[in-house]
Amino acid sequence: MSTTFDGAVIKEQGVTFAIAVVKRGTLANFLQKKDAFSYFSRFFGNIPTVLMEQDIHGVPQYYGRKDIVKFLSSIHPSRIPWKRYTIN
């Protein structure tokens, strides 16, 4: 069974990092957030990983390394090169 998710790998100011989109409510639940962070960190390998969810109005919220979260919070999500990933 395969799983798909939206995400991105970005190189900005010499830092390469990944973003994984998670379902609404994940970041508010400690165990779900921890599990998702661990899962996507393994998927993307040895680069910092950030989780992103959107509220009902489409406003993103990020979780991960503080400098990356601060950067992502300052740009519009449409500027992120989103891609659909499939995990087999």
Sequence letter at residue 73: S
Q: How many CA atoms lie within 13 A of 30 on its CB side?
A: 0
Q: Is the pLDDT of residue 1 over 80?
A: no
Instruction: Enumerate the domain spans of the chain.
Output: 3-80
Q: Give residue 6's pLDDT.
A: 97
Q: Is the dihedral of CA 57, 3, 20, 22 positive or negative?
A: positive
Distance from C-alpha of 54 to C-alpha of 56, rounded to nearest angstrom: 7
Fold of 3-80: Trna Endonuclease; Chain: A, domain 1 (3.40.1350)
Q: Is the pLDDT of residue 80 over 80?
A: yes
Q: Is the pLDDT of residue 2 over 90?
A: no
Q: Give residue 57's pLDDT.
A: 92
**Per-chain mean pLDDT for the chain:** 95
Give the pLDDT mean for 17-44. Answer: 96
- Residue 85 CA to its chain's centroid (Å): 12
Whether the full predicted model's pTM is greater than 0.85, yes or no, is: yes
* pLDDT category of residue 18 using cuts at 50, 70 and 90: very high
